[in-house]
Amino acid sequence: MSQASESSQTAADFIKEQLSLEAEAREALPYQFDTCTRDLGPLRQSLYACLTCNPAPASSAQQYTPAGVCYSCSISCHGEHTLVELFNKRNFICDCGTTRIPDMTPCTLRINAKTGLKGEVTGEEPAKTNKYNHNFQNKFCGCGQEYDPHEEKGTMFQCLGLGSCDEGGCGEDWWHPECIVGFTREEYSKMIEKPEAGLKSSTNEAMDVDKAAEGDNKTNGNEAETVSLNNTAIANIVTNSNGVDGNDITAAGGEDEEDDDDPPLPPGFPEEDDFDHFLCYKCVAANPWIKKYAGSTGFLPPVYYDKAIALSHSEKVTIAALENDSKKRKASDEDEDEQQTTSNLAAPVPAKRQKSEDPSGTLSSIPEDPPALPTPPKKTKEPKHASLPALPEPALTTRFSLFLKPDFRDHLCHCDTCYPQLKLHPQLLEEEETYEPPVSEDGDQGAQSVGTGSILDRGEAAFNNMDRVRAIQGAMAYAHIRDKVSAFLKPFAESGQAVGAEDVKAYFEKLRGDAQGIEDAAGGAKASRDNEDRGASGGGGKEQSGY
């Protein structure tokens, strides 16, 4: 078998492969990308930063102009560039085709006001209401670390946002869990990483001390089991903190289970199922009026930007869990004893029924004209913020983030004092609508719209939508080229030789509608076949090339 035949592909296989690739593309890019959102005004929408057009500055002293483009422009205008996905940001107008983007990359989707034609839009005035943060430089979180999707592990959380960076907020930044509770990424990584084989870390040594102490306690026979907690055993605290699954806990037999791809959530950080949104400590500090809701209905307790408090909180959670488990076992034993004792006692004598249960007595005891009850004085309804619990003492001096439950909006105070503060942030009053472009239709329906469906479907649709004369001409042209290509491929099929790319290229170079071109191409195929036959050392097997 020739090398060409090994890499050969039938037309059916090629079409199947193309359809598969186009299906993958539709899954990765599910929306249509033929319309820029700039004309729609400020929207909460998915944004992208182009590092090719607006590279991040090497230093803070270097001049830099941030810019964000919409989903459609990221594909149609910046498809070959290096992009950073920023996900959703509110009140943003696409910057593509404005002075924030170099003229070398015009917007190809909007109408040029000078020419009246679509495309080549540059130099328009950008929106003055757009707000930018370091996300547009591919930097995220309070740590300002660049995001590498191939290296990053774990979940990042987007702040609901109560202000731009100029206003003291974060601008809907994305945060690492460990940075929210006060750890640096480096120290938290060291806390959770497993030491190399044969090496002892300080954490492991501390845990070994705990185990030795626990062993000594168990030598006292019937004494209660004692659990040792050591402040230096940080890894033990992390393991028992919220957000840990079975993959992060050492198996009972002493064998480690397979590592989970995502690191465990840091101590002091709530479980993901416990909240729906969160406000970072920057936005909370910039809007101190919202601090009063921490720990109230619809809100979790404060999550402090202090690693010492986070570690202390984790220890308390661990001790409380152990005590609760002990109480449950004790209560269960007491219930069993009580149930056994109760079963040995005689059934109690039913209490004497009240006279009102007698039907006749009930009717006769109701007066014809009952005295009117005094109307209680009407109480003025207190605003919700008046009944909020007092903040814990650390919240008065330590920055903290606020985690919101799904129904938090129902518990915000709307009194005359509080409502003006809420009104400045509509996202606190109602769920925001996020703009999404129209979804690209699938292959069966995509042929009916431009820019959607497979290439094969779009070709068939174009043929079906032609007028009758052009359709007949197209069919005749197709039949003509089909006959010529069939004549060219026939010698290859008879000889079993695969059709290579060079053969096809040479054929179409010769194809001018004359018979001589076909004969020359066929002669070349025959000569190639004779050379293969002469060079073969036995074995007359041949593979028929599909077409």
DSSP assignment string, 495-527: HTPPPPHHHHHHHHHH-SS-HHHHHHHHHHHHH
- Distance between CA atoms of residues 486 and 402, nearest Å: 71
Is the predicted pLDDT of residue 430 greater than 70, yes or no? yes
pLDDT per residue as tens digits for the range 93-140: 999 999 999 999 999 999 999 999 999 999 999 999 999 999 999 999
Instruction: Give residue 281's identity as a one-letter amino acid code.
Output: Y
Rounded Cα distance, 48 and 27, in Å: 18
Contact predicate 521/510, CB 8 Å = yes
Decide which of 346 and 148 is more confident.
148
Amino acid code (one letter) for 263? P
Mean pLDDT of 147-173: 94
Distance CA(227)–CA(55), nearest Å, equals: 55
State phi, psi for 75 to the nearest 5 degrees: -95, -50
* Per-residue pLDDT, 220: 46
Residue 158's beta-bridge partner residues?
174
Specify whether the backbone of 254 is left (phi greater than 0), alpha (psi in -120 to 50) or beta.
Answer: left
Domain that holds residue 250: 138-193+227-334+385-434
Q: 354 φ, ψ to 5°? A: -75, 155
Inside any domain, residue 286: yes
Token pair recorded at residue 270: 């709530």
Q: Which of 103, 118, 137 is the last residue of a domain?
A: 137
Task: Report the distance separating Cα 30 and Cα 28, nearest Å.
Answer: 6
Query: What is the predicted pLDDT for the residue at 490?
Result: 82
Give residue 400's pLDDT band: very low, low, confident or very high (50, 70, 90): very high
Same-domain pairing of 158 and 132: no
* Helix segments in 142-267, DSSP class H: 177-180, 185-192, 202-217, 234-239
In this structure, the answer to whether residues 423 and 513 fall within a common structural domain is no
**For tokens 């197209």, what's the residue?**
474
Q: Take residue 164 and report the two structure tokens written for it.
A: 């731009």
Structure-model confidence comparison of residues 529 and 230, the more confident one: 529
Q: Are strands 43-50 and 83-92 parallel, antiparallel or unpaired?
A: antiparallel
pLDDT cut 70: percent of the chain above it: 61
Tokens of 436: 């999404």
Confidence of residue 199 (pLDDT cuts 50, 70, 90): very low
Q: Which of 137, 171, 206 lies at the terminal end of a domain, its last residue?
A: 137
- Is residue 457 scored above 70 in pLDDT? no
Q: Flag whether pLDDT at 454 surpasses 70.
A: no
Residues 428 and 471 in one domain: no
CA–CA separation, 470 and 462 (whole Å): 11
pLDDT digits (tens, 9 = 90+) for 406-418: 999 999 999 999 9
By DSSP bridging, strand 400-404 and strand 303-304 are antiparallel
Mean pLDDT of 476-499: 80
Within a domain: residue 187?
yes
Reduce the DSSP state of residue 296 to 3 states and report it: coil
Exposure b/e, 260-290, CB count within 10 A at least 16 = b? eeebbbbbbbbeeeebebbbbbbbbbbbeeb
DSSP H helical segments within 245-306, as ranges?
Answer: 281-286
Mean pLDDT, range 508-521, rounded to an integer: 61
pTM greater than the 0.75 cutoff: no
pLDDT of residue 476: 77
Which ranges constitute the DSSP H helices of 47-117?
Answer: 71-76
- Tokens describing residue 380: 């003025």
For residues 45 and 182, membership in a common domain is answered with no
Nearest to 152 by CA among 198, 85, 197: 85
pLDDT band at 349 (very low <50, low <70, confident <90, very high): very low
Which of the residue ranges 6-10, 443-447, 453-457, 532-536 would you say has the lowest mean pLDDT? 443-447
517: left (phi over 0), alpha (psi -120 to 50) or beta: alpha
Q: Which residue has the higher pLDDT, 480 or 108?
A: 108
Structure tokens at 502: 């060079």
Average pLDDT, the chain: 75
Average pLDDT over residues 468-488: 76
If asked whether residues 186 and 239 sit together in one domain, one would say: yes
Between 276 and 474, the more confident residue is 276
Question: In total, how many domains does the chain have?
Answer: 3
Say if residue 242 is in the same domain as residue 309: yes
Task: Please tell me the distance from the alpha carbon of residue 170 to that of residue 177, in angstroms, as a whole number.
Answer: 15
Split at pLDDT 50, 70, 90, the class of 17 is confident
Question: Is there a single domain that holds both residue 411 and residue 518?
Answer: no
344 assigned to some structural domain: no
Indicate whether 445 belongs to any domain: no
Across 314-323, 372-381, 463-472, the highest mean pLDDT is recorded for 463-472
HSE (side-chain half, CA atoms, 13 Å) at 498 = 14
- Same domain for 414 and 300, yes or no, is yes
pLDDT score recorded for residue 92: 98
Last residue of a domain, one of 137, 163, 185: 137
Pairwise CA distance, residues 537 & 185, whole Å? 66
Q: Are residues 158 and 81 in the same domain?
A: no
Cα Dmax for the chain: 124
* Average pLDDT over every residue of 270-291: 97
Q: Work out the angle at residue 10's Cα, subtended by the Cα atoms of residues 7 and 15, and round it to the nearest 5 degrees.
A: 110
Kindly state whether residues 88 and 50 are assigned to the same domain. yes
List the structure tokens of 534.
Answer: 């002469």
Residue 518 included in any domain: yes
pLDDT of 59: 86
Please report, as a single letter, which amino acid is at residue 402: L
CA end-to-end span of the chain, whole Å? 17
Q: Which residues, 6+ apart, have CB-to-CB distance to 317 below 8 Å?
A: 240, 241, 242
Residue 444 belongs to some domain of the structure: no
Q: Could you read off the pLDDT of 27-77 as tens digits, one per residue?
A: 778 899 999 999 999 999 999 999 999 999 988 889 999 999 999 999 999
98 near 65, Cβ under 8 Å? no
Residue 24 lies in a domain: no
Judgement on whether residues 103 and 158 belong to the same structural domain of the protein:
no
Q: What is the C-alpha separation between 95 and 70, in angstroms, rounded?
A: 8
Lowest average pLDDT, out of 10-24, 292-306, 424-438, goes to 10-24
Chain Cα centroid distance, residue 247: 22
Q: Which residues are registered as beta bridge partners of 43?
A: 92
Mean pLDDT for the stretch of residues 274-294:
97
> What mean pLDDT comes out for the span 428-439?
94
* Residue 185 and residue 266 in one domain: yes
In a domain, 201, yes or no: no
